Amino acid sequence: MDDILNNRIKDVLPVSAYAEGVKTLLSTADAGRVQTWAIGRGTHVEILEIVDTRTLLEANKHEANTFSQHAKRGAMSKVASVPTALRMKMISEQWSETDLKRWLNDPDNARFRTDGGWKV
C-alpha cells in the first residue's frame, strides 16, 4: 500500500464550474496532509480526497515497537490507528466486527497496528 491513501467520495455537484478531466484543488486540511480535489467527469463532478498517511504510519510504527506484550491490559486496548477516510469507508460499507478483525489481522495491514501484531 502506498503512503498516500486515495478515497473516492460519491458526490454529485454542479458541473458548470469544472472542466472535463481537470483536477481542481478544493481544500487542504491538517497542515496540508489532507487534500480535497474536484475532477470534471462529463455530467458530474468526482470528489477525490487524498490523505498523506506518513505521519500516522510513523506514529503507529513507534507505538508497535514500544508495545509491551507482557504488560497488564484492561478490557480495552488500542490495537490500531487508521486514517479517518479509511474509517469512514468501513462505516459506509457497514463492515461487521468479523470484517474488521479480518482486516486488522491481515499482514498487508500491519502498518496500521499499534499492539505489536496480536490477533484480535
Residues 48-79 have pLDDT tens digits of 888 888 888 999 999 999 887 777 667 677 88
DSSP-assigned beta bridge partners for residue 9: 47
Looking at the structure of the chain, the number of domains it has is 2
Range of the domain at 19: 4-52
Mark whether 33 and 59 lie in a shared domain. Answer: no
Mark whether 28 and 59 lie in a shared domain. Answer: no
Grid cell of 36 as nine digits: 480535497
C-alpha span between 48 and 13 (Å, rounded) = 13
Could you tell me which residues come within 8 angstroms of residue 113 by beta carbon, excluding any fewer than 6 positions away? 60, 64, 79, 80, 104
The answer as to whether 120 is a domain residue is: no
C-alpha span between 12 and 85 (Å, rounded) = 18
Q: Which residue has the higher pLDDT, 21 or 14?
A: 21
pTM: 0.62
